[in-house]
């Protein structure tokens, strides 16, 4: 998936109020950008970190700039949480995730359970429906290890329970973690930051929910889902 071009480089000054980031661009301009990431952004929100922003000339926007990438561990990390679903949709269309290939229809944003909306519902006449939940991953505190979540994520824990309920009625359910960075070879749940989620992930897997992790190639031109990563329960 291509990113808006051209991206402009600068350095983070501060990220605040969840959706705002102040930057000093390399050309000397001080800007405020929209931060499309409501999470804690642990490890990718430090003052002085290199960052890349895109520009929009849409007059309806309150902020013309959008934070897209942050530099960490010598590489680029995608911080836009709006992108993983688009990346997965692109990968599904290209059948680039073998475990999820062969479905006739892919429906996004389908209501299910009591108060949830699954990211994708995959269907085919000759197999059970597949309920697919996508999670964005950017955190890496140990070299080579991606982690999720970076703060308490009660909603994500509920999603795991909803997926397990679909397996219980005979459907297929998958939790897909999209790691928007290139420097990781494995993934684990972040038990010290959210022990409930870590337990929930183990319980979901025991209930038959499939856990998939995919790394991404990340450049200033675009982001693409690539190789699988090992899950460390």
Q: Mind listing the pLDDT tens digit for each residue in 161-191? A: 999 999 999 999 999 999 999 999 999 999 9
Return the pLDDT at 201: 98
State yes or no: cis peptide before 68, omega within 30 of 0.
no
Question: Per CATH, the architecture of 83-231 is what?
Answer: 3-Layer(aba) Sandwich (3.40)
Q: Where are the domains of the chain?
A: 8-78, 83-231
Return the pLDDT at 139: 97
The residues near 107 (Cβ < 8 Å, ≥ 6 apart) are: 120, 121, 122, 123
Helix (H, G, I), strand (E, B) or coil at 14: strand
- Do the beta carbons of residue 188 and residue 149 sit within 8 Å? no
State yes or no: cis peptide before 6, omega within 30 of 0.
yes
Two tokens, residue 161: 């329970």
Residue count (the chain): 233
Return the pLDDT at 85: 97
Beta strands in 1-158 (DSSP E): 8-16, 20-25, 30-34, 50-55, 65-72, 75-78, 105-112, 116-124, 127-137, 139-142, 145-148
Question: Per CATH, the architecture of 8-78 is what?
Answer: Beta Barrel (2.40)
What is the mean pLDDT of each successive set of 10 residues along the chain, which is 233 residues long?
A: 96 96 98 96 96 95 97 96 97 97 96 90 97 97 97 95 97 98 97 98 98 98 97 91
Query: Residue 30 class from Cβ within 10 Å (0-12 exposed, 13-18 middle, 19+ buried)?
Result: exposed
Return the pLDDT at 115: 78
Whether pTM > 0.85 for this model: the answer is yes
């Amino acid at each position: 998936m291509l990113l808006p071009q051209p991206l402009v480089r600068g350095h983070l000054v501060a990220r605040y109020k969840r959706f705002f980031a102040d930057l000093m661009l390399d050309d000397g301009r001080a800007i405020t950008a929209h931060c499309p990431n409501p999470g804690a952004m642990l490890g990718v929100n430090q003052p002085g970190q290199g960052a890349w922003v895109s520009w929009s000339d849409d007059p309806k926007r309150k902020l013309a700039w959008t934070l897209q990438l942050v530099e960490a561990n010598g590489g680029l990390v995608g911080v836009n949480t709006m992108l993983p679903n688009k990346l997965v949709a692109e990968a599904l269309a290209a059948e680039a995730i073998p475990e999820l290939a062969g479905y006739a229809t892919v429906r996004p944003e389908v209501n299910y359970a009591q108060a949830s909306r699954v990211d994708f519902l995959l269907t085919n006449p000759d197999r059970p429906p597949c309920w697919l939940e996508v999670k964005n991953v950017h955190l890496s505190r140990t070299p080579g290890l991606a982690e999720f979540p970076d703060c308490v994520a009660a909603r994500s824990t509920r999603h795991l329970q909803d997926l397990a309920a679909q397996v219980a009625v005979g459907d297929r359910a998958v939790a897909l973690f999209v790691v928007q960075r290139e420097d990781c070879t494995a993934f684990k749940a972040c038990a010290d930051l959210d022990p409930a989620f870590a337990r929930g992930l183990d319980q979901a897997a025991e209930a038959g929910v499939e856990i998939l992790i995919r790394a991404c190639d990340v450049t200033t031109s675009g982001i693409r889902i690539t190789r699988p990563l090992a899950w460390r329960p």
